[in-house]
Structure 1
Amino acid sequence: MHHTFSDMTFCIRTFGCQMNKHDSERIAGMLEGLGALQVETSEEADMVVFMTCCVREAADVRLMGQVASLKNLPLREGAAIGRRIIAVGGCIGQRDGEKLTRELPHLDVVFGTHNLGSLPKLMERAIGGEGHQIEVLDSAETFPTDLPTAREHSWAAWLPITIGCNNFCSYCIVPYVRGREKSRSLEDVVAEAKAYVDAGVKEITLLGQNVNSYGRDLYGAPRFDDLLDAIDGTGIARLRFATSHPKDLTDGVIERFGTLRSLMPALHLPVQSGSDRILEAMNRRYTRDHYLELIAKLRKACPDIALSSDIIVGFPGETEKDFEDTYRLVEEVGYNQVFTFIYSKREGTPAASIEDSTPREVIQERFDRLVDLVQDKAWQSNQSDKGKTVEVLVEGASKRDSGILAGKSPKNQTVHAKVSAGQSAEDLAGSFVNVRVDEAKTWYLAGTVVDADEGARGSDGC
């Protein structure tokens, strides 16, 4: 079995959330373990795997276009098989199953969110000429972390602590394609974190659709704060997590931002709307006041915390007053970053049946106004770091200039700095350097590499 892969190449196209990126690393680990070589482009690949997201309509359109474009793409010279094998997994695979092969007849394999481990078997059958291979399960038999992984960076690791979601926000398809929430045992997560630290990993990001409810299914109550304590105890240099639901963010987790050595001063806390009426229609189960109380507690525990969020503009029935409530909340919080989206109807969700007569141009105008505000606030937030010295985890060279390093600050800001003569930005990847911030732009900081004893480590924590 799987002998077919030893002379083959593959590439993975990933859409959507960090969980999809992590799933892609698992797939790369499996295929590399079976002898296949990962390549960058579809042109070079004998097998192309699409890891899909169906949260927004644009993702469906992009997938269809990209799969269709492979139909007449010539194979690389010396390809091990006579035709390119195309697979679609992730959330669109889970949702659409067999329907995908009817719409895209040249698609070979469809798999879902619960059966990553089936992919090599399905690919092999497709290579063997056994026709379309479709396997979509209703739930996972094993946690995907049982599979091998090929991490994008040796110094950083995604670490899933839960899969699935129980929240059923009225606009969201995730619970229907990822299933009910399941937590890994605390011991399993900590053991994996220790293994990463032993392997030289500098930064771990804990993953879940709602990390704050971690452990409720196993222990009867959330134990996310206990988990943060235990992972901090492994000696990891940097710890982050995504994503948080405001209704489950506890005082205990908030306090950890002020007390844990490794927990970085940055939190992504999606608000979605600043209007109580819209929040109720979204089934978010918190109010504007409760959300703002959380922000106040976070800033008390960690005054320098960088906050980011998600906001949907144009949810069905949103009025100008509802939008103004959202706009004012963004003004009040002063986020470092906000991901803004125009509402996209997802069939199968409760919100899809809500009628809305708001003209598209009104929604677009609101969206544009919000984006302008978000950019202003992001610029203002970054000004507080000008002149400070920040510790940067180097990711490599800037895409525009190989002589400039790019990395992340504790607050998850992108930082650029010129490397010293005789040094290579790529060689510094995975190491920490101190950068004095000379310029603070909207979406990045720029500065000068300094020795560790030069200047205070201004925004390194709380």
Structure 2
Amino acid sequence: MNEEQRKEMSQIQSKDPNSADQNNLNRIKQKTSDDFMKYFETTYQPPNMRDAQRRKKKDTDVLYDFSIPEDMDQSGSGKKYMIRTYGCQMNEHDTEVMAGIFEAMGYESTSNTKEADVILLNTCAIRENAENRVFGEIGHLKPLKLENPNLVLGICGCMSQEESVVNRILKKHPFIDLIFGTHNIHRLPQLLKEAMFGKEMVIDVWSKEGDIIENLPRSRKGNIKAWVNIMYGCDKFCTYCIVPYTRGKERSRMPKDIIQEVRHLAAQGYKEVTLLGQNVNAYGKDLDIEYGLGDLMDELRSIDLPRIRFTTSHPRDFDDRLIEVLAKGGNMLDHIHLPVQSGNTDVLKIMGRKYSREEYLELVGKIRTAMPEATLTTDIIVGFPNETAEQFEDTISLVEEVGFEHAYTFIYSPRDNTPAAKMKDNIPMDEKKARLQRLNKIVNQQSADAMSQYEGEIVDVLVEGESKNNPDVLAGYTKRNKLVNFRAPDSVIGQIIPVKIIKAKTWSLDGELVQEKVEVN
């Protein structure tokens, strides 16, 4: 933006934001956007599979020197921020970090868009649905920007790492002030400063993964359950998946930093921690020491914390050492989410999953032998390019053989710049929907059957708060991740208490408090 444009924009913003001069603001933003398009097209390098696969794992460093820049310290005093989060637990974790940075700058959180001085959409790129929701929300936010030109609107997260998304924002949504990706969250204060005072669209998207920043502030939701990121990125390059491009290659945190964080959470009174990673059981493979997820979990067993989970696993990296540690029990929970994606070996090969149907079933057998009561859940894609009816039948038979108690099922959604997006897809949508409906019917029945076994049983429930559907009912989860609804005093929230199951439903359990075993404050 040149000096003349800056002066004109400054004059416009000093006036009533509802005046006719708002049209001039849009014109200048559009012109600035056009300038950025030229810059973007000549300098930005979109994620490239070949380059990403060749990239060395030691390109990242571990840094412990994060701090809020002096000129941004308390810059948010008297101001409010809002972050809307889409997608997985990793995105939720990133939101906690960004919220921590905002609050370290003096901002307060708000859920009211009209009160916010900064609004960020933390986005997901896994499926087309998620992208459509975000662009719909961008459209809804435009009137707020017209009413208040000083409002900072930002798009961050996985979608921001996609070239097509950035291009679309530049061309169709020039009122957006800030675009940044998944590798530079620690630069939020600097980026916010540029967006606020530069008054032009700020784009800071890296096609290469960043360093591991260890002392970032966090604003966690509640004080009962917490997420702890143990690694970033993924090296598997499944042909349908955008994650290796949006999140980069695998980078593991040092064990001492993870253990210290979990100990700190236990000292604060948290009852459950979930270890996060795009491919969490590949943890440690990029370190210079012989140390994997099983070794880390074994050390965490000694911490006085009731429950420890992890997600999400890749079957290829689920080794015997991890099974051995999980089988020891204690605070190691035997609810395992193990995405299979397809039950047919040929489809798995085209997906780039790097295991066969037989190898997956062999792994399930090992888990069942070591932990007979283990709960297994999974992810399944229906209608992958050219999946035949016979290949789909293999998925059905595998689901029935394993007996998954829950499954996240999806119709295949092509993602730009992934190998699968270039594959010929000759399966009619009606057929895909029919397959999904049939699969869901089986999964729902298996879930209902598993739930029915809990009727009459007494289970330990970690009480999280009020039920979403009834404020007079409390809700919590068993160690096998079963949702339980029951009536009890609010004083038990945050405790692990015994509840007798009186009714089983497909996806939840109804129970009653075992009064004589509960200490009510």
The residue identity in structure 2 corresponding to 1:362 is E
Give 1:45's aligned amino acid. A
Give the equivalent residue in structure 1 for 2:104: 33
Residues in 2 aligned to 1:279 and 1:371: alpha-carbon distance in whole angstroms: 20
Are the counterparts in 1 of residues 224 and 464 from structure 2 also a CA contact under 8 Å? no
Pairing of 1:237-248 with structure 2 (within 5 A): 237-248=306-317
2:104 partner letter: G
Letter in 2 for 1:432: I
What is the distance in 2 between the residues matched to 1:250 and 1:26? 31
**Range with bigger deviation, 237-246 or 128-137:** 128-137
Q: How far apart are the structure 2 equivalents of 1:28 and 1:343?
A: 33
1:92 paired to 2:92 = no
Asked if 2 retains the 8 angstrom alpha-carbon contact of 1:43 and 1:74, the reply is no
Which consecutive segments of 4 or more residues in structure 1 shift more than 3 A? 73-76, 138-142, 219-222, 451-454
Residue 143 of structure 1 deviates from its aligned partner by 1.8
Give the paired residue count: 445
1:434–1:452 contact (8 Å) kept in structure 2: no
User: Match of 1:400, as an amino acid?
Assistant: N
Please give the alpha-carbon distance, in whole angstroms, between the structure 2 residues aligned to 1:329 and 1:127: 54
> Are the equivalent residues in 1 in contact too, given 2:97–2:217 (CA < 8 A)?
yes
Match in the other structure for 1:263: 332
Please give the TM-score of this superposition, normalised by the length of structure 1. Answer: 0.93
Which residue of structure 2 aligns with residue 449 of structure 1? 513
Q: Aligned with 1:285: secondary structure?
A: coil
Structure 1 residue identity aligned to 2:504: A
Comparing 311-320 with 429-438, greater Cα deviation is found at 429-438
Asked whether the 8 Å contact 1:395–1:406 carries over to 2, the reply is yes
Look up the match of 2:118: 47
Report what 1:163 is aligned to: 232
For residue 19 of structure 1, what is the amino acid of its counterpart?
Answer: M
Residues 401-451 of structure 1: CA distance to partner in whole angstroms, max 9, x if unpaired?
A: 2221111110011110111xxx22xx4332111111111111111101114
The 5 A counterparts of 1:114-153 are: 114-153=183-222
**Residue 347 (structure 1) aligns with:** 416
Give deviations 1:17-76, integer Å, cap 9, x for gaps: 111110000001110111111112323322111111111111111111101111113899
Find 2:277's aligned residue among 188, 196, 208. Answer: 208
CA distance in 1 between partners of 2:82 and 2:117 (Å)? 8
1:435 alignment counterpart? 499
Contact 1:45–1:84 at 8 Å: present in 2 too?
A: yes
Structure 2 CA distance for partners of 1:19 and 1:362, relative to 1, 3 Å: same
CA drift of 1:382 comes to 1.0
After TM superposition, list the pairs within 5 Å mapping 1:332-411 onto structure 2: 332-411=401-480
Name the structure 2 match of 1:230. Answer: 299
How far the C-alpha of 1:120 sits from its partner, in A, is: 2.2
Change (3 A) 1:452 1:183: farther
Partner of 1:325: 394
CA contact (8 A) 1:145 1:160 kept: no
Cα contact 2:312–2:337 (8 A) shared by 1: yes
Q: Secondary structure at the match of 1:166?
A: coil
Q: Retained in 2: the 8 A contact 1:229–1:260?
A: no
Q: Distance in 1 between matches of 2:293 and 2:384?
A: 31
Counterpart of 1:458 in structure 2 is none
Alignment equivalent of 1:58, drawn from 118, 129, 142: 129
Correspondence for 2:39: none
| Letter of the 1:429 counterpart | I
CA distance 1:395–1:167, shift in 2 (3 Å):
same
Amino acid at match of 2:154: A
1: CA distance, partners of 2:82 / 2:375: 35
Cα distance in 1 for partners of 2:503, 2:119 equals 41
Is the 8 Å Cα contact of residues 116 and 144 (structure 1) preserved in structure 2?
no
Residue 139 and residue 451 in structure 1: after superposition, are their counterparts in 2 closer, same or farther (change >3 A)?
farther
SS of corresponding position for 1:72? helix
Determine which of 89, 103, 109 is the counterpart of 2:172: 103
Q: Runs of 5+ in structure 1 lacking a partner?
A: 455-462
RMSD value over aligned CA atoms? 1.8
2:287 to 218, 221, 242: 218
> Does the 8 A contact of 1:4 with 1:124 survive in 2?
no
Distance 1:228 1:441, change over 3 A: same
Moved more, 367-376 or 256-265: 256-265
**Distance in 2 of aligned mates of 1:300 and 1:357:** 41
Separation in 2, partners of 1:259, 1:329 = 28
Number of the residue aligned with 1:459: none
Aligned to 2:355: 286
Secondary structure of the corresponding residue to residue 218 of structure 1? coil
| Structure 2 residue runs without a partner (length 5+) | 1-70
Deviation (angstroms), 1:313: 0.3
| Corresponding residue SS for 2:492 | coil
Shift of 1:206: 0.5
Give 1:129 shift. Answer: 4.4
Distance in 2 (CA, whole Å) between partners of 1:69 and 1:453 is 50
Once residues 446 and 197 of structure 2 are traced to their aligned partners in structure 1, the CA distance between those partners, rounded to angstroms, is: 56
8 Å CA contact 1:275, 1:322 repeated in 2:
yes
- 1:21 corresponds to 2:92: yes
Q: Which amino acid aligns with 2:160?
A: G
Q: Residues 93-150 of structure 1, C-alpha deviation per residue, up to 9 Å, x if partnerless?
A: 1223742233311111101110001122222222224311111123444324431000
How far does residue 220 in structure 1 lie from its aligned partner after superposition? 5.8
**Amino acid across the alignment from 2:431:** V
What code does the residue aligned with 2:355 have? Y
Q: Pick closer, same or farther for the CA change 1:41–1:368 going to 2, 3 Å.
A: farther
**Percentage of pairs with the same residue:** 40
Larger gyration radius, structure 1 or structure 2: 2
1:434 aligned partner, one-letter code: P
Query: Structure 2 counterpart of 1:27, which letter?
Result: M
User: Which one-letter code corresponds to 1:151 in the other structure?
Assistant: R
**Which of 344, 348, 368 is matched with 1:275 structurally?**
344
Distance 1:256 1:379 in 2: 30
Give the SS at the match of 2:137. helix
Amino acid at match of 2:88: C
Residue of structure 1 in register with 2:28 after alignment: none
Give the Cα separation in 2 of the matches to 1:218 and 1:279. Answer: 28
Residues of 2 paired with 1:275 and 1:284: CA distance?
11
